[in-house]
Each structure stands twice: as structure tokens, then as C-alpha cells.
């Protein structure tokens, strides 16, 4: 990379696919890093080019397993020790975000802990997308640019030209997010109320609102095992919906997720590329790239320009 380049972009192991696309959109090569792994599972991170006095953008999501979070922490520490001017963590998917409060006795608040770890490691700023809970931004004592996937999802929904659109939330907790889409499309909102006995298991689901004869778009921030959206889709088809699609920012796709989606009445599942999956195993999944959005945000942060144009909703 040329020494005249004002900032450098580096990537962790599992986020290289999106980091390369971000760098290509900006028109700069991806920085050279070496991550050496030892027999016991420990690893060492080193920059293979100078970062002294530069703005450094580290692209790495903290999805499972925990090695990805540890990689990011070591990257931040290495950049700091190499005299980088500023260190910005670019985290398309911020993991551990579902643990944002104490919802029962004697549990940790993991998202606060991760925020503290990144702050202690030495980040100057965080750029992320669709946090599970907006208030996680307050866990950081550095600026947080919280992006949304709506700039890529909304145009895609518009391109479908659905006849009688209705927006739905698969649970009460996501009602605010879904309502933003409903307001934008000037349509009604339907909410599913679910009851769980334990994580990733839905015991009962109730539908609030009318879907008969409607083209339903389910809006959520993430799809994990796909149990909730598939259950919601089945319920809506039973209530007379004409079609059901799901939109989610983060396609975690754990365990039986792909199988459930293939066997469900869902017409389509629309997700971003914040997760590195081979979606060919599930023809119902459409992947939209958010790399250009992150590239534009990096350029705006570098130039001290507003990022307000990134927000559709």
C-alpha cells in the first residue's frame, strides 16, 4: 500500500470476504496482516506493513466462535503498539448483543463486557450495523456509528412491487424496528407475540393484526435457528396471507436454520452479507451486500463528513 494513502483497512480471518469488497468500493488495497496459529489454539496477530501515524480501520465481526472477538482485540492492540494515529473497529455484526441487560438473577451483561474489552484494547471509534438493542451504543465511551441495513433492504422490497403489502414483526421486541418500515411504506403493522420456555425454542405464538390476502414482510434484526420466522410464516399462511417473506440484517443460520427455511412456507428470506455463509444450500435466501454502505461511511468518517445520508429509516 502506498505511503501516501491516508488510511489503511485490515481484516480478520473470517471477515476478509466483506473487507475485500469494502476496500474495492473505496479503491484501496486491503492491508497485509499475518495471523499465526499455534498447536494449542493460541494465535498471534501482526501487521506486515507500517501503520505509524495512520488511520487504521479493522474489519472484523464478532460472530461465533470467540476467536473472532479475540482476533479483533489483538488487532486493536497491535495497531496501538505500532503507533497508529486512530484505530476504528468496523464490526458489521456485533455479537453478544442479545445479552444487553440482566433479565434474571446472576447473569452477565455480555454486550457491556465486550464494549469494555474493545475500549480497553484501544479503539477510538466503532462502526457497526443493526445492534440487537440500540442502547448498546451507550456501553461505549467512544463514538459509535450505528448503521442500519435499510438502505439496501428498502430498495429491494420496493423492487418486488407487492400488491397489498403489510409489515410484520416476529416478536413484540422488534415492533419498533418493524414500525419504522410500516411508516415508510405507509402500511399497517402486524405483531407476533411469542412465548419461550428457553432460548431458541418457541412454545406458543399469537398473531395480532390482519394478514388475510396480504403480502407479508417479516422484519427482524437476526435469524439464528429460524424457528421464530418459520413459525410466524406458517401462522400467517394459516390466517390467509397471500405470501410471506422475511428480512433480517444478520443471517446467523445456526443448526437447522437452512432446513427449516427450505421446508417453510416462506417465499423468500432477504439478508445482508454480514455473515459468511454459502447460501446455495438454501435457494430461498437472497443476500444483499452492505459493503458499499460501510465503504461510504469509512470515507465520510475520514473526511469528517456527516453520515446522515446513510439512514433511510
Active site residues: 194
Helical (H) or strand (E) element with 286? strand 285-288
**What are the CA-CA distances from residue 21 to residues 4, 17, 25, 170, 221 (Å)?**
21, 7, 6, 31, 22
* Structural contact between residues 89 and 60, judged by C-beta atoms closer than 8 angstroms: yes
Q: Is 41 left (phi over 0), alpha (psi -120 to 50) or beta?
A: left
Residue 244 CA to residue 211 CA, distance in Å, equals 10
Q: CB atoms < 10 A from the CB of 158, how many?
A: 12
* Structural contact between residues 265 and 234, judged by C-beta atoms closer than 8 angstroms: yes
Taking Cα atoms as reference points, which of 253, 271, 252 lies closest to residue 149? 271
* Structural contact between residues 122 and 87, judged by C-beta atoms closer than 8 angstroms: yes
Residue 82 CA to residue 129 CA, distance in Å, equals 28
Amino acid at each position: 500500500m502506498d505511503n501516501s494513502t491516508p488510511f489503511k483497512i485490515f481484516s480478520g480471518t473470517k471477515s476478509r470476504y466483506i473487507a475485500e469488497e469494502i476496500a474495492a468500493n473505496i479503491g484501496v488495497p486491503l492491508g497485509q496482516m499475518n495471523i499465526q496459529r499455534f498447536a494449542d489454539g493460541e494465535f498471534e496477530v501482526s501487521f506486515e506493513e507500517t501503520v505509524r501515524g495512520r488511520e487504521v480501520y479493522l474489519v472484523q465481526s464478532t460472530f461465533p466462535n470467540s476467536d473472532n472477538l479475540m482476533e479483533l482485540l489483538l488487532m486493536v492492540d497491535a495497531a496501538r503498539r505500532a503507533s497508529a494515529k486512530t484505530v476504528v473497529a468496523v464490526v458489521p455484526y456485533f455479537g453478544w448483543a442479545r445479552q444487553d441487560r440482566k433479565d434474571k438473577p446472576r447473569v452477565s451483561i455480555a454486550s457491556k463486557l465486550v464494549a469494555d474489552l474493545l475500549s480497553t484494547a484501544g479503539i477510538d471509534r466503532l462502526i457497526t450495523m443493526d445492534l440487537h438493542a440500540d442502547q448498546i451504543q451507550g456501553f461505549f465511551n467512544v463514538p459509535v456509528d450505528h448503521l442500519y441495513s435499510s438502505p439496501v433492504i428498502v430498495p429491494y422490497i420496493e423492487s418486488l412491487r407487492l400488491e397489498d403489502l403489510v409489515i410484520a414483526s416476529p416478536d413484540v421486541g422488534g415492533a419498533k424496528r418493524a414500525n419504522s418500515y410500516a411508516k415508510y411504506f405507509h402500511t399497517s403493522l402486524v405483531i407476533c407475540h411469542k412465548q419461550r420456555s428457553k432460548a431458541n425454542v418457541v412454545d406458543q405464538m399469537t398473531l395480532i393484526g390482519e394478514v388475510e390476502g396480504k403480502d407479508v414482510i417479516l422484519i427482524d434484526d437476526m435469524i439464528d435457528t429460524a424457528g421464530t420466522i418459520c413459525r410466524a410464516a406458517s401462522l400467517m399462511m394459516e390466517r390467509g396471507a397471500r405470501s410471506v417473506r422475511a428480512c433480517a440484517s444478520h443471517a446467523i443460520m445456526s443448526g437447522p436454520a437452512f432446513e427449516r427455511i427450505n421446508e417453510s412456507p416462506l417465499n423468500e428470506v432477504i439478508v445482508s452479507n454480514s455473515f459468511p455463509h454459502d447460501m446455495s444450500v438454501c435457494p430461498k435466501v437472497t443476500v444483499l451486500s452492505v459493503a458499499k454502505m460501510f465503504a461510504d461511511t469509512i470515507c465520510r468518517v475520514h473526511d469528517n463528513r456527516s453520515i446522515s445520508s446513510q439512514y433511510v429509516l
